[in-house]
Structure 1
Protein backbone atom coordinates (compact mmCIF):
# COMPACT_ATOMS: atom_id res chain seq x y z
CA UNK A 1 0.00 0.00 0.00
CA UNK A 2 1.21 3.50 -0.87
CA UNK A 3 2.44 5.32 2.24
CA UNK A 4 1.81 9.05 2.52
CA UNK A 5 3.00 11.94 4.65
CA UNK A 6 0.42 14.74 4.68
CA UNK A 7 1.50 18.34 5.25
CA UNK A 8 -1.02 21.14 5.80
CA UNK A 9 -2.15 23.73 8.32
CA UNK A 10 -5.44 25.72 7.92
CA UNK A 11 -9.12 24.82 7.58
CA UNK A 12 -8.63 24.49 3.82
CA UNK A 13 -6.37 21.46 4.37
CA UNK A 14 -8.29 19.50 6.99
CA UNK A 15 -10.98 18.05 4.67
CA UNK A 16 -8.24 16.89 2.28
CA UNK A 17 -6.56 15.01 5.12
CA UNK A 18 -9.90 13.44 6.07
CA UNK A 19 -10.48 12.34 2.47
CA UNK A 20 -7.09 10.57 2.34
CA UNK A 21 -7.88 8.83 5.61
CA UNK A 22 -11.39 7.83 4.49
CA UNK A 23 -10.01 6.45 1.20
CA UNK A 24 -7.78 4.13 3.19
CA UNK A 25 -4.37 5.56 2.31
CA UNK A 26 -1.59 4.69 4.75
CA UNK A 27 -0.84 8.06 6.36
CA UNK A 28 2.43 7.65 8.27
CA UNK A 29 2.37 11.13 9.81
CA UNK A 30 0.77 14.56 9.56
CA UNK A 31 3.11 17.56 9.46
CA UNK A 32 1.69 20.96 10.40
CA UNK A 33 2.72 24.31 11.85
CA UNK A 34 3.22 24.69 15.62
CA UNK A 35 0.35 25.72 17.90
CA UNK A 36 -0.01 29.53 17.96
CA UNK A 37 -1.54 32.06 20.39
CA UNK A 38 -4.98 33.14 19.14
CA UNK A 39 -7.31 36.00 20.10
CA UNK A 40 -6.99 38.80 22.61
CA UNK A 41 -6.28 36.34 25.42
CA UNK A 42 -3.52 34.72 23.33
CA UNK A 43 -4.78 31.18 23.95
CA UNK A 44 -2.36 28.60 22.53
CA UNK A 45 -4.38 26.92 19.77
CA UNK A 46 -3.57 23.96 17.50
CA UNK A 47 -3.93 24.46 13.74
CA UNK A 48 -7.05 22.84 12.21
CA UNK A 49 -5.00 20.08 10.56
CA UNK A 50 -3.54 19.04 13.92
CA UNK A 51 -7.01 18.88 15.44
CA UNK A 52 -8.21 16.70 12.54
CA UNK A 53 -5.14 14.44 12.74
CA UNK A 54 -5.55 13.84 16.46
CA UNK A 55 -9.24 13.09 15.94
CA UNK A 56 -8.26 10.49 13.31
CA UNK A 57 -5.58 9.01 15.56
CA UNK A 58 -2.68 10.04 13.32
CA UNK A 59 0.80 11.01 14.59
CA UNK A 60 1.59 14.73 14.33
CA UNK A 61 4.92 16.48 13.67
CA UNK A 62 5.12 20.28 14.16
CA UNK A 63 8.41 21.84 13.02
CA UNK A 64 8.88 25.56 13.57
CA UNK A 65 11.16 25.50 10.53
CA UNK A 66 11.53 22.35 8.46
CA UNK A 67 14.90 22.95 6.81
CA UNK A 68 17.75 21.51 8.88
CA UNK A 69 15.46 20.39 11.71
CA UNK A 70 15.24 17.22 13.75
CA UNK A 71 11.67 16.94 12.54
CA UNK A 72 12.91 16.75 8.93
CA UNK A 73 15.08 13.78 9.82
CA UNK A 74 12.09 12.22 11.56
CA UNK A 75 10.01 12.63 8.38
CA UNK A 76 12.74 11.21 6.15
CA UNK A 77 13.12 8.20 8.45
CA UNK A 78 9.48 7.29 7.77
CA UNK A 79 10.40 6.71 4.08
CA UNK A 80 7.04 7.71 2.57
CA UNK A 81 6.21 6.80 -1.01
CA UNK A 82 4.48 10.15 -1.51
CA UNK A 83 4.27 13.53 0.24
CA UNK A 84 0.98 15.42 -0.17
CA UNK A 85 0.85 19.08 0.86
CA UNK A 86 -2.04 21.53 1.02
CA UNK A 87 -1.39 25.03 2.36
CA UNK A 88 1.40 23.82 4.64
CA UNK A 89 3.05 27.23 4.82
CA UNK A 90 6.72 26.38 4.23
CA UNK A 91 8.79 25.61 1.13
CA UNK A 92 10.08 22.03 1.26
CA UNK A 93 13.87 21.54 1.24
CA UNK A 94 15.48 19.64 -1.63
CA UNK A 95 16.33 16.76 0.70
CA UNK A 96 12.63 16.09 1.23
CA UNK A 97 11.57 16.80 -2.36
CA UNK A 98 13.93 14.08 -3.60
CA UNK A 99 13.09 11.45 -0.97
CA UNK A 100 9.69 9.91 -1.87
CA UNK A 101 9.67 7.51 -4.82
CA UNK A 102 6.44 9.08 -6.13
CA UNK A 103 7.54 12.65 -5.42
CA UNK A 104 5.93 15.50 -3.50
CA UNK A 105 2.64 16.95 -4.74
CA UNK A 106 0.72 20.05 -3.71
CA UNK A 107 -2.98 20.97 -3.73
CA UNK A 108 -2.87 24.67 -4.66
CA UNK A 109 -5.94 26.94 -4.64
CA UNK A 110 -5.50 28.64 -8.00
CA UNK A 111 -5.31 27.85 -11.69
CA UNK A 112 -1.54 27.90 -12.01
CA UNK A 113 0.53 29.57 -13.32
CA UNK A 114 -1.77 32.38 -12.09
CA UNK A 115 -1.54 33.30 -8.42
CA UNK A 116 1.49 31.51 -7.11
CA UNK A 117 2.01 32.25 -3.42
CA UNK A 118 0.32 32.25 -0.04
CA UNK A 119 -2.94 34.16 -0.70
CA UNK A 120 -4.29 33.02 -4.08
CA UNK A 121 -7.96 32.99 -3.02
CA UNK A 122 -7.86 36.46 -1.45
CA UNK A 123 -6.09 37.92 -4.47
CA UNK A 124 -8.39 36.37 -7.06
CA UNK A 125 -11.42 37.95 -5.36
CA UNK A 126 -9.69 41.32 -4.84
CA UNK A 127 -8.74 41.35 -8.53
CA UNK A 128 -12.35 40.71 -9.58
CA UNK A 129 -11.56 37.40 -11.28
CA UNK A 130 -14.55 35.51 -12.69
CA UNK A 131 -13.11 32.05 -12.06
CA UNK A 132 -10.60 30.26 -9.91
CA UNK A 133 -9.85 26.64 -9.17
CA UNK A 134 -7.45 24.05 -7.84
CA UNK A 135 -4.20 22.73 -9.28
CA UNK A 136 -2.56 19.45 -8.32
CA UNK A 137 1.14 19.88 -9.06
CA UNK A 138 4.55 18.41 -8.41
CA UNK A 139 6.52 20.48 -5.93
CA UNK A 140 9.77 22.25 -6.74
CA UNK A 141 12.20 24.36 -4.70
CA UNK A 142 10.86 27.46 -6.44
CA UNK A 143 7.48 28.65 -5.05
CA UNK A 144 4.53 26.90 -6.73
CA UNK A 145 6.56 26.42 -9.91
CA UNK A 146 6.35 22.64 -10.34
CA UNK A 147 4.75 20.75 -13.21
CA UNK A 148 0.95 20.67 -13.34
CA UNK A 149 -0.72 17.27 -13.00
CA UNK A 150 -4.42 18.21 -13.03
CA UNK A 151 -6.70 21.22 -12.64
CA UNK A 152 -10.35 22.02 -12.05
CA UNK A 153 -11.94 25.46 -12.45
CA UNK A 154 -15.02 26.90 -10.74
CA UNK A 155 -16.76 30.28 -11.21
CA UNK A 156 -16.40 33.06 -8.66
CA UNK A 157 -19.94 34.20 -7.99
CA UNK A 158 -20.63 37.90 -7.46
CA UNK A 159 -21.69 37.18 -3.86
CA UNK A 160 -18.67 34.99 -3.06
CA UNK A 161 -16.14 36.13 -0.50
CA UNK A 162 -12.83 34.58 0.52
CA UNK A 163 -14.38 32.50 3.30
CA UNK A 164 -16.94 30.94 0.93
CA UNK A 165 -14.28 30.22 -1.67
CA UNK A 166 -11.99 28.57 0.89
CA UNK A 167 -14.81 26.12 1.63
CA UNK A 168 -15.66 25.57 -2.04
CA UNK A 169 -12.05 25.09 -3.13
CA UNK A 170 -11.27 22.77 -0.25
CA UNK A 171 -14.05 20.48 -1.52
CA UNK A 172 -12.82 20.83 -5.10
CA UNK A 173 -9.31 19.96 -3.90
CA UNK A 174 -10.62 16.85 -2.14
CA UNK A 175 -12.39 15.59 -5.25
CA UNK A 176 -9.59 16.47 -7.65
CA UNK A 177 -6.95 14.82 -5.48
CA UNK A 178 -9.16 11.75 -5.06
CA UNK A 179 -9.49 11.50 -8.86
CA UNK A 180 -5.82 12.22 -9.55
CA UNK A 181 -4.00 10.08 -6.97
CA UNK A 182 -4.51 6.69 -8.69
CA UNK A 183 -2.77 7.93 -11.84
CA UNK A 184 0.13 9.34 -9.78
CA UNK A 185 0.53 6.04 -7.96
CA UNK A 186 0.47 3.93 -11.12
CA UNK A 187 2.59 6.38 -13.12
CA UNK A 188 0.03 7.27 -15.80
CA UNK A 189 -0.58 10.91 -14.81
CA UNK A 190 0.04 13.79 -17.18
CA UNK A 191 2.71 16.39 -16.42
CA UNK A 192 2.66 19.90 -17.91
CA UNK A 193 5.44 22.47 -17.47
CA UNK A 194 4.08 25.85 -16.34
CA UNK A 195 4.27 28.71 -18.83
CA UNK A 196 6.52 31.24 -17.08
CA UNK A 197 5.17 34.04 -19.31
CA UNK A 198 1.74 33.61 -17.66
CA UNK A 199 2.93 33.62 -14.05
CA UNK A 200 1.32 35.98 -11.53
CA UNK A 201 1.86 36.11 -7.79
CA UNK A 202 -0.37 36.36 -4.72
CA UNK A 203 1.83 37.04 -1.73
CA UNK A 204 0.48 37.10 1.82
CA UNK A 205 -1.87 40.04 2.33
CA UNK A 206 -0.10 43.16 3.58
CA UNK A 207 -1.54 45.77 5.93
CA UNK A 208 -1.51 48.27 3.08
CA UNK A 209 -3.74 45.97 0.97
CA UNK A 210 -6.30 45.98 3.78
CA UNK A 211 -6.74 49.76 3.70
CA UNK A 212 -9.59 51.23 1.65
CA UNK A 213 -8.62 53.82 -0.97
CA UNK A 214 -11.84 55.76 -1.47
CA UNK A 215 -10.67 57.14 -4.83
CA UNK A 216 -11.19 53.67 -6.33
CA UNK A 217 -14.62 52.95 -7.78
CA UNK A 218 -17.22 50.99 -5.81
CA UNK A 219 -16.73 47.76 -7.78
CA UNK A 220 -13.03 47.65 -6.87
CA UNK A 221 -13.84 48.46 -3.23
CA UNK A 222 -16.55 45.78 -3.08
CA UNK A 223 -14.06 43.26 -4.44
CA UNK A 224 -11.55 44.38 -1.81
CA UNK A 225 -14.06 44.04 1.04
CA UNK A 226 -15.21 40.57 -0.01
CA UNK A 227 -11.65 39.50 -0.82
CA UNK A 228 -10.66 40.33 2.78
CA UNK A 229 -13.76 38.79 4.37
CA UNK A 230 -13.82 37.18 6.90
CA UNK A 231 -10.10 37.76 7.39
CA UNK A 232 -8.06 39.92 7.67
CA UNK A 233 -10.89 42.49 6.99
CA UNK A 234 -10.73 45.78 5.09
CA UNK A 235 -10.44 49.01 7.05
CA UNK A 236 -10.56 52.77 6.69
CA UNK A 237 -10.04 55.55 9.25
CA UNK A 238 -12.71 57.66 10.91
CA UNK A 239 -12.43 60.10 13.82
CA UNK A 240 -8.73 59.27 14.20
CA UNK A 241 -9.30 55.53 14.61
CA UNK A 242 -9.27 52.45 12.41
CA UNK A 243 -12.77 51.55 11.23
CA UNK A 244 -13.20 47.99 9.92
CA UNK A 245 -15.60 47.24 7.08
CA UNK A 246 -16.68 43.61 7.45
CA UNK A 247 -19.27 43.75 4.70
CA UNK A 248 -20.46 46.23 2.10
CA UNK A 249 -22.12 46.27 -1.31
CA UNK A 250 -22.12 48.61 -4.28
CA UNK A 251 -24.28 51.61 -3.42
CA UNK A 252 -27.10 53.06 -5.50
CA UNK A 253 -26.47 56.77 -5.02
CA UNK A 254 -24.61 58.76 -7.68
CA UNK A 255 -22.77 61.83 -6.49
CA UNK A 256 -20.13 64.49 -7.10
CA UNK A 257 -18.76 64.37 -3.56
CA UNK A 258 -15.16 63.98 -2.47
CA UNK A 259 -14.27 60.27 -2.11
CA UNK A 260 -14.73 59.11 1.48
CA UNK A 261 -17.69 61.43 2.15
CA UNK A 262 -20.88 60.06 3.75
CA UNK A 263 -23.56 60.76 1.14
CA UNK A 264 -26.59 58.79 2.39
CA UNK A 265 -27.82 57.29 5.68
CA UNK A 266 -30.56 54.64 5.84
CA UNK A 267 -31.87 52.46 8.67
CA UNK A 268 -29.61 49.46 8.03
CA UNK A 269 -26.69 50.95 6.08
CA UNK A 270 -24.97 54.12 5.01
CA UNK A 271 -23.24 55.03 1.76
CA UNK A 272 -19.79 56.50 1.35
CA UNK A 273 -18.58 58.21 -1.82
CA UNK A 274 -16.10 56.25 -3.92
CA UNK A 275 -14.37 57.14 -7.17
CA UNK A 276 -16.03 57.89 -10.51
CA UNK A 277 -19.32 58.99 -8.93
CA UNK A 278 -19.95 55.58 -7.36
CA UNK A 279 -20.63 54.71 -3.71
CA UNK A 280 -20.05 51.87 -1.26
CA UNK A 281 -22.92 50.83 1.03
CA UNK A 282 -21.64 49.71 4.47
CA UNK A 283 -23.70 47.02 6.27
CA UNK A 284 -21.33 45.36 8.76
CA UNK A 285 -18.72 47.47 10.59
CA UNK A 286 -16.41 47.71 13.58
CA UNK A 287 -15.51 51.15 14.93
CA UNK A 288 -12.18 51.59 16.73
CA UNK A 289 -12.22 49.99 20.18
CA UNK A 290 -15.66 48.43 19.64
CA UNK A 291 -16.97 44.99 18.71
CA UNK A 292 -18.19 44.06 15.26
CA UNK A 293 -21.78 45.19 14.66
CA UNK A 294 -24.35 45.73 11.94
CA UNK A 295 -24.52 49.21 10.44
CA UNK A 296 -28.01 49.47 11.92
CA UNK A 297 -26.61 48.84 15.43
CA UNK A 298 -23.82 51.33 14.76
CA UNK A 299 -26.22 54.03 13.59
CA UNK A 300 -28.41 53.54 16.70
CA UNK A 301 -25.44 53.61 19.07
CA UNK A 302 -21.85 54.71 18.60
CA UNK A 303 -22.54 56.20 15.17
CA UNK A 304 -25.82 57.91 16.07
CA UNK A 305 -24.20 61.28 15.36
CA UNK A 306 -23.01 60.25 11.88
CA UNK A 307 -24.03 62.91 9.38
CA UNK A 308 -24.05 63.35 5.66
CA UNK A 309 -20.79 65.13 4.86
CA UNK A 310 -18.71 63.27 7.45
CA UNK A 311 -15.42 62.07 6.03
CA UNK A 312 -13.74 58.65 6.04
CA UNK A 313 -10.04 58.65 5.17
Structure 2
Protein backbone atom coordinates (compact mmCIF):
# COMPACT_ATOMS: atom_id res chain seq x y z
CA UNK A 1 0.00 0.00 0.00
CA UNK A 2 1.30 3.44 -0.98
CA UNK A 3 1.35 5.90 1.91
CA UNK A 4 0.37 9.44 0.94
CA UNK A 5 0.13 12.96 2.30
CA UNK A 6 -2.68 14.82 0.55
CA UNK A 7 -2.71 18.60 0.17
CA UNK A 8 -5.64 20.61 -1.16
CA UNK A 9 -8.28 23.16 -0.26
CA UNK A 10 -11.44 23.71 -2.42
CA UNK A 11 -14.16 21.36 -3.64
CA UNK A 12 -12.00 20.42 -6.65
CA UNK A 13 -9.42 19.00 -4.22
CA UNK A 14 -12.06 17.27 -2.11
CA UNK A 15 -13.23 15.28 -5.14
CA UNK A 16 -9.67 14.11 -5.78
CA UNK A 17 -9.20 13.19 -2.11
CA UNK A 18 -12.42 11.16 -2.09
CA UNK A 19 -11.12 9.23 -5.09
CA UNK A 20 -7.91 8.30 -3.28
CA UNK A 21 -9.84 7.31 -0.16
CA UNK A 22 -11.97 4.97 -2.24
CA UNK A 23 -8.94 3.16 -3.68
CA UNK A 24 -7.42 0.50 -1.42
CA UNK A 25 -3.99 0.96 -3.03
CA UNK A 26 -3.46 4.09 -0.93
CA UNK A 27 -3.30 5.03 2.73
CA UNK A 28 -3.74 8.72 3.52
CA UNK A 29 -1.47 9.48 6.48
CA UNK A 30 -2.40 13.15 6.76
CA UNK A 31 -4.28 15.94 5.02
CA UNK A 32 -2.93 19.48 4.68
CA UNK A 33 -5.27 22.34 3.83
CA UNK A 34 -5.49 26.11 4.19
CA UNK A 35 -6.54 27.56 7.57
CA UNK A 36 -10.22 28.07 8.31
CA UNK A 37 -11.37 31.52 7.18
CA UNK A 38 -14.08 33.99 8.19
CA UNK A 39 -16.45 34.49 5.23
CA UNK A 40 -19.50 36.60 4.44
CA UNK A 41 -20.85 39.66 6.13
CA UNK A 42 -21.32 37.76 9.40
CA UNK A 43 -17.68 36.61 9.32
CA UNK A 44 -18.61 33.03 10.04
CA UNK A 45 -15.69 30.62 10.27
CA UNK A 46 -15.85 28.09 7.44
CA UNK A 47 -13.70 25.00 7.11
CA UNK A 48 -12.36 24.02 3.70
CA UNK A 49 -14.10 21.30 1.66
CA UNK A 50 -10.95 19.16 1.98
CA UNK A 51 -11.02 19.46 5.77
CA UNK A 52 -14.65 18.37 5.79
CA UNK A 53 -13.74 15.19 3.91
CA UNK A 54 -10.72 14.55 6.13
CA UNK A 55 -12.70 14.91 9.35
CA UNK A 56 -15.43 12.63 8.02
CA UNK A 57 -12.76 9.95 7.55
CA UNK A 58 -10.98 10.64 10.87
CA UNK A 59 -7.78 11.74 9.13
CA UNK A 60 -5.18 13.98 10.81
CA UNK A 61 -5.51 17.55 9.49
CA UNK A 62 -2.73 20.16 9.34
CA UNK A 63 -3.53 23.81 8.57
CA UNK A 64 -0.36 25.92 8.63
CA UNK A 65 -0.69 29.54 7.53
CA UNK A 66 2.66 29.00 5.83
CA UNK A 67 4.09 25.51 5.52
CA UNK A 68 7.73 26.52 5.17
CA UNK A 69 9.46 26.73 8.54
CA UNK A 70 6.38 25.59 10.46
CA UNK A 71 6.13 22.90 13.17
CA UNK A 72 3.63 21.17 10.87
CA UNK A 73 6.36 20.72 8.27
CA UNK A 74 8.54 18.79 10.68
CA UNK A 75 5.57 16.67 11.71
CA UNK A 76 4.72 15.84 8.11
CA UNK A 77 8.30 14.87 7.30
CA UNK A 78 8.31 12.43 10.22
CA UNK A 79 5.29 10.46 8.98
CA UNK A 80 7.23 8.26 6.60
CA UNK A 81 5.04 8.92 3.56
CA UNK A 82 5.97 7.44 0.20
CA UNK A 83 4.62 10.40 -1.69
CA UNK A 84 2.61 13.62 -1.76
CA UNK A 85 -0.42 14.39 -3.89
CA UNK A 86 -1.57 18.00 -4.19
CA UNK A 87 -4.62 19.51 -5.88
CA UNK A 88 -5.29 23.25 -5.64
CA UNK A 89 -3.51 23.49 -2.29
CA UNK A 90 -2.59 27.16 -2.57
CA UNK A 91 0.98 27.15 -1.19
CA UNK A 92 4.45 26.30 -2.46
CA UNK A 93 5.93 23.13 -0.99
CA UNK A 94 9.37 23.50 0.63
CA UNK A 95 12.20 21.73 -1.17
CA UNK A 96 13.13 19.69 1.88
CA UNK A 97 9.59 18.33 2.05
CA UNK A 98 9.72 17.35 -1.63
CA UNK A 99 13.08 15.69 -1.05
CA UNK A 100 11.74 13.73 1.94
CA UNK A 101 9.41 11.56 -0.19
CA UNK A 102 9.86 9.30 -3.21
CA UNK A 103 7.47 11.30 -5.38
CA UNK A 104 5.26 14.38 -5.32
CA UNK A 105 2.58 14.94 -7.96
CA UNK A 106 0.12 17.75 -8.55
CA UNK A 107 -3.33 17.61 -10.15
CA UNK A 108 -3.51 20.94 -12.00
CA UNK A 109 -6.67 22.20 -13.73
CA UNK A 110 -5.16 23.25 -17.06
CA UNK A 111 -3.57 21.79 -20.14
CA UNK A 112 0.00 22.64 -19.28
CA UNK A 113 2.15 24.42 -20.21
CA UNK A 114 -0.79 26.82 -20.67
CA UNK A 115 -2.19 28.53 -17.59
CA UNK A 116 0.26 27.90 -14.83
CA UNK A 117 -0.95 29.51 -11.62
CA UNK A 118 -3.93 29.81 -9.34
CA UNK A 119 -6.82 30.65 -11.71
CA UNK A 120 -6.51 28.45 -14.81
CA UNK A 121 -10.22 27.78 -15.18
CA UNK A 122 -11.10 31.47 -14.93
CA UNK A 123 -8.62 32.41 -17.66
CA UNK A 124 -9.62 29.56 -19.97
CA UNK A 125 -13.16 30.94 -19.96
CA UNK A 126 -12.23 34.62 -20.10
CA UNK A 127 -9.91 34.01 -23.05
CA UNK A 128 -12.53 32.05 -24.97
CA UNK A 129 -10.69 28.72 -25.07
CA UNK A 130 -12.51 25.87 -26.79
CA UNK A 131 -11.30 23.29 -24.28
CA UNK A 132 -10.07 22.96 -20.72
CA UNK A 133 -8.38 20.08 -18.98
CA UNK A 134 -6.24 18.63 -16.24
CA UNK A 135 -2.54 17.83 -16.14
CA UNK A 136 -0.92 15.42 -13.72
CA UNK A 137 2.66 16.61 -13.17
CA UNK A 138 5.70 16.18 -11.01
CA UNK A 139 6.18 18.84 -8.36
CA UNK A 140 9.21 21.13 -8.39
CA UNK A 141 9.98 24.37 -6.59
CA UNK A 142 8.90 26.50 -9.55
CA UNK A 143 5.13 27.03 -9.88
CA UNK A 144 3.45 24.35 -12.03
CA UNK A 145 6.69 23.81 -13.96
CA UNK A 146 7.24 20.10 -13.36
CA UNK A 147 7.33 17.38 -16.00
CA UNK A 148 3.92 16.18 -17.19
CA UNK A 149 2.81 12.65 -16.34
CA UNK A 150 -0.58 12.69 -18.09
CA UNK A 151 -3.22 15.14 -19.31
CA UNK A 152 -6.81 15.06 -20.45
CA UNK A 153 -9.00 17.67 -22.19
CA UNK A 154 -12.74 18.33 -22.27
CA UNK A 155 -14.68 20.83 -24.44
CA UNK A 156 -15.88 24.17 -23.06
CA UNK A 157 -19.49 24.94 -23.99
CA UNK A 158 -21.40 28.23 -23.88
CA UNK A 159 -23.30 26.84 -20.88
CA UNK A 160 -20.11 26.48 -18.86
CA UNK A 161 -18.89 28.85 -16.17
CA UNK A 162 -16.21 28.62 -13.49
CA UNK A 163 -18.48 26.59 -11.24
CA UNK A 164 -19.51 24.00 -13.82
CA UNK A 165 -15.97 23.60 -15.12
CA UNK A 166 -14.59 23.15 -11.61
CA UNK A 167 -17.06 20.32 -11.06
CA UNK A 168 -16.31 18.68 -14.40
CA UNK A 169 -12.54 19.00 -14.10
CA UNK A 170 -12.54 17.71 -10.53
CA UNK A 171 -13.90 14.41 -11.83
CA UNK A 172 -11.44 14.45 -14.75
CA UNK A 173 -8.57 15.11 -12.33
CA UNK A 174 -9.67 12.37 -9.94
CA UNK A 175 -9.91 9.79 -12.71
CA UNK A 176 -6.67 10.90 -14.37
CA UNK A 177 -4.81 10.50 -11.09
CA UNK A 178 -6.26 7.12 -10.20
CA UNK A 179 -5.62 5.76 -13.71
CA UNK A 180 -2.00 6.93 -13.97
CA UNK A 181 -0.56 7.08 -10.45
CA UNK A 182 0.03 3.31 -10.08
CA UNK A 183 2.09 3.13 -13.28
CA UNK A 184 3.96 6.31 -12.37
CA UNK A 185 4.86 5.03 -8.90
CA UNK A 186 6.01 1.76 -10.46
CA UNK A 187 8.31 3.68 -12.83
CA UNK A 188 6.36 2.62 -15.92
CA UNK A 189 5.47 6.17 -17.04
CA UNK A 190 8.09 8.59 -18.33
CA UNK A 191 7.06 12.20 -17.65
CA UNK A 192 7.36 14.74 -20.47
CA UNK A 193 9.05 18.11 -20.01
CA UNK A 194 6.98 21.24 -20.65
CA UNK A 195 7.80 23.37 -23.69
CA UNK A 196 9.01 26.71 -22.24
CA UNK A 197 7.95 28.56 -25.41
CA UNK A 198 4.31 27.58 -24.81
CA UNK A 199 4.08 28.66 -21.17
CA UNK A 200 1.31 31.08 -20.16
CA UNK A 201 0.19 32.13 -16.70
CA UNK A 202 -3.10 32.49 -14.83
CA UNK A 203 -2.44 34.47 -11.65
CA UNK A 204 -5.20 34.95 -9.10
CA UNK A 205 -7.85 37.39 -10.29
CA UNK A 206 -7.25 40.98 -9.15
CA UNK A 207 -10.12 43.33 -8.22
CA UNK A 208 -9.34 45.43 -11.30
CA UNK A 209 -9.90 42.42 -13.57
CA UNK A 210 -13.42 41.93 -12.24
CA UNK A 211 -14.64 45.15 -13.91
CA UNK A 212 -16.23 44.88 -17.34
CA UNK A 213 -14.94 46.82 -20.32
CA UNK A 214 -18.00 47.60 -22.45
CA UNK A 215 -15.86 48.48 -25.48
CA UNK A 216 -15.08 44.79 -25.95
CA UNK A 217 -17.24 42.53 -28.13
CA UNK A 218 -20.34 40.83 -26.77
CA UNK A 219 -18.55 37.47 -26.96
CA UNK A 220 -15.61 38.81 -24.93
CA UNK A 221 -17.92 40.31 -22.31
CA UNK A 222 -20.03 37.13 -22.19
CA UNK A 223 -16.84 35.13 -21.61
CA UNK A 224 -15.68 37.60 -18.96
CA UNK A 225 -18.94 37.31 -17.02
CA UNK A 226 -18.99 33.51 -16.99
CA UNK A 227 -15.25 33.49 -16.28
CA UNK A 228 -16.07 35.28 -13.02
CA UNK A 229 -19.14 33.24 -12.05
CA UNK A 230 -19.86 32.16 -9.36
CA UNK A 231 -16.75 33.89 -7.99
CA UNK A 232 -15.40 36.55 -7.78
CA UNK A 233 -18.26 38.01 -9.97
CA UNK A 234 -17.91 40.62 -12.71
CA UNK A 235 -19.05 44.16 -12.02
CA UNK A 236 -19.60 47.52 -13.63
CA UNK A 237 -21.10 50.87 -12.62
CA UNK A 238 -24.75 51.87 -12.89
CA UNK A 239 -25.62 55.46 -12.05
CA UNK A 240 -22.28 55.74 -10.28
CA UNK A 241 -22.74 52.67 -8.06
CA UNK A 242 -21.20 49.21 -8.21
CA UNK A 243 -23.41 46.75 -10.10
CA UNK A 244 -22.63 43.03 -10.21
CA UNK A 245 -23.51 40.86 -13.21
CA UNK A 246 -23.63 37.14 -12.48
CA UNK A 247 -25.10 35.80 -15.70
CA UNK A 248 -25.86 37.09 -19.17
CA UNK A 249 -26.48 35.80 -22.68
CA UNK A 250 -25.44 36.92 -26.14
CA UNK A 251 -27.88 39.24 -27.90
CA UNK A 252 -28.19 41.26 -31.08
CA UNK A 253 -28.20 45.02 -31.43
CA UNK A 254 -25.89 47.99 -31.50
CA UNK A 255 -25.28 51.26 -29.72
CA UNK A 256 -22.69 53.03 -27.66
CA UNK A 257 -20.70 50.62 -25.45
CA UNK A 258 -22.61 50.13 -22.19
CA UNK A 259 -25.81 51.72 -23.50
CA UNK A 260 -29.19 50.17 -22.71
CA UNK A 261 -30.72 49.51 -26.13
CA UNK A 262 -33.77 47.42 -25.16
CA UNK A 263 -35.79 47.50 -21.96
CA UNK A 264 -38.99 45.70 -20.97
CA UNK A 265 -40.50 44.07 -17.89
CA UNK A 266 -38.36 40.96 -18.41
CA UNK A 267 -35.42 42.00 -20.56
CA UNK A 268 -32.50 44.42 -20.38
CA UNK A 269 -30.16 44.47 -23.38
CA UNK A 270 -26.86 46.36 -23.29
CA UNK A 271 -24.73 47.34 -26.30
CA UNK A 272 -21.07 46.38 -26.37
CA UNK A 273 -18.21 47.33 -28.66
CA UNK A 274 -19.68 44.83 -31.11
CA UNK A 275 -23.09 43.27 -30.62
CA UNK A 276 -24.97 43.21 -27.32
CA UNK A 277 -25.68 41.12 -24.23
CA UNK A 278 -28.88 40.53 -22.28
CA UNK A 279 -28.51 40.47 -18.50
CA UNK A 280 -29.94 37.47 -16.65
CA UNK A 281 -28.85 37.62 -12.98
CA UNK A 282 -27.64 40.81 -11.30
CA UNK A 283 -27.01 42.50 -7.96
CA UNK A 284 -27.46 46.26 -7.55
CA UNK A 285 -25.47 48.04 -4.82
CA UNK A 286 -26.86 47.28 -1.37
CA UNK A 287 -29.33 44.69 -2.67
CA UNK A 288 -29.35 40.89 -2.85
CA UNK A 289 -28.67 38.94 -6.00
CA UNK A 290 -31.77 38.68 -8.20
CA UNK A 291 -33.09 37.64 -11.58
CA UNK A 292 -33.41 40.36 -14.19
CA UNK A 293 -37.24 40.42 -14.04
CA UNK A 294 -37.18 41.11 -10.30
CA UNK A 295 -34.58 43.82 -10.81
CA UNK A 296 -36.60 45.50 -13.56
CA UNK A 297 -39.73 45.34 -11.43
CA UNK A 298 -37.98 47.39 -8.74
CA UNK A 299 -34.88 49.48 -9.31
CA UNK A 300 -35.17 48.95 -13.05
CA UNK A 301 -38.14 51.29 -13.22
CA UNK A 302 -35.68 54.17 -12.88
CA UNK A 303 -33.84 53.12 -16.04
CA UNK A 304 -34.51 54.12 -19.63
CA UNK A 305 -33.21 53.22 -23.07
CA UNK A 306 -30.11 55.33 -23.59
CA UNK A 307 -28.83 55.05 -20.02
CA UNK A 308 -25.31 53.64 -19.88
CA UNK A 309 -23.46 51.16 -17.72
CA UNK A 310 -19.89 51.93 -16.80
CA UNK A 311 -20.35 55.66 -16.27
TM-score (norm 1): 0.97
SS of aligned partner of 2:11? coil
Alignment partner of 1:44 is 2:42? no
Alignment partner of 1:309 is 2:310? no
Deviations 1:224-248 (A, max 9, x none): 0011011110000012210000100
- CA drift of 1:280 comes to 1.3
The alignment of Structure 1 onto Structure 2 pairs a total of residues equal to 309
| RMSD of aligned alpha carbons | 0.8
- CA drift of 1:266 comes to 2.9
> What does 1:90-169 correspond to in 2, within 5 Å?
90-101=91-102, 103-169=103-169
Q: Which moved more, 1:85-94 or 1:184-193?
A: 184-193
> What does 1:264-303 correspond to in 2, within 5 Å?
264-276=262-274, 278-303=275-300
| Runs (5+) with no aligned partner, structure 2 | none
- CA drift of 1:189 comes to 1.3
1:178 counterpart residue number: 178
Deviations 1:67-119 (A, max 9, x none): 11111001101121010000000011101111112x11000000000000000
Work out the CA distance in 1 between the residues paired with 2:136 and 2:75: 26
2:55 counterpart residue number: 54
2:79 counterpart residue number: 78
SS of aligned partner of 1:63? coil
Work out the CA distance in 2 between the residues paired with 1:206 and 1:78: 38
Work out the CA distance in 2 between the residues paired with 1:266 and 1:173: 44
- CA drift of 1:299 comes to 0.5
Work out the CA distance in 1 between the residues paired with 2:43 and 2:215: 37
- CA drift of 1:15 comes to 1.0
SS of aligned partner of 1:304? helix
- CA drift of 1:268 comes to 2.2
> What does 1:200-279 correspond to in 2, within 5 Å?
200-252=200-252, 254-255=253-254, 257-276=255-274, 278-279=275-276
- CA drift of 1:292 comes to 0.2
- CA drift of 1:269 comes to 2.3
Deviations 1:177-231 (A, max 9, x none): 0101111221111210100000000000111111000000100000000110111
Q: In 2, are the aligned partners of 1:268 and 1:283 still within 8 Å (CA)?
A: no
Q: In 2, are the aligned partners of 1:150 and 1:190 still within 8 Å (CA)?
A: no
TM-score (norm 2): 0.98
Work out the CA distance in 1 between the residues paired with 2:190 and 2:239: 57
SS of aligned partner of 1:13? helix
- CA drift of 1:160 comes to 0.6
| Runs (5+) with no aligned partner, structure 1 | none
- CA drift of 1:66 comes to 0.5
- CA drift of 1:27 comes to 0.4
Work out the CA distance in 1 between the residues paired with 2:123 and 2:100: 33
SS of aligned partner of 1:237? strand
List, as ranges, runs of 4+ consecutive aligned residues in structure 1 with deviation greater than 2 Å. Answer: 266-269
Work out the CA distance in 1 between the residues paired with 2:267 and 2:147: 48
